[in-house]
Amino acid sequence: MNRKLTDTELEIAAKKMILLRWDNYGDPINMLCKIANKWSDILPIDLNYSFTAADVAKMMALLKQCRLSFKPSADSQIDKRSYEILELICMDKYKDDSFIEQLRKRLDS
């Protein structure tokens, strides 16, 4: 698909993707934290930095942005927006309370 999705289409598809990935890979925030720890482990000690889950989500969104600049696709648009949403969630700045509640219910079950 070469057409650019609307903001609404993208937001809906990205939230569906986050839930689908949860079903396949578990809690996405937990996974981002695990990746952040792995990435932090390989940094030179003198850098004195630890990646956060938000850092990982941002870098993954940037990776998708680079892919989109090479070959636009709906999949990459959706993935990019999914990572942007996850970054906002990590920073407690995502404003869709009903979606946050859906995620919390998954954590509780």
Look up the pTM and report it.
Answer: 0.93
How far apart (Å, rounded) are the C-alpha atoms in residues 56 and 34? 10
The string of pLDDT tens digits covering residues 4-58 is 889 999 999 999 999 999 999 999 999 999 999 999 999 998 998 999 999 999 9
DSSP structural state of residue 70:
H
- pLDDT grade, residue 2 (50/70/90)? low
* Closest C-alpha to 36, from 105, 87, 71: 87
The pLDDT of 83-106, averaged and rounded, is 96
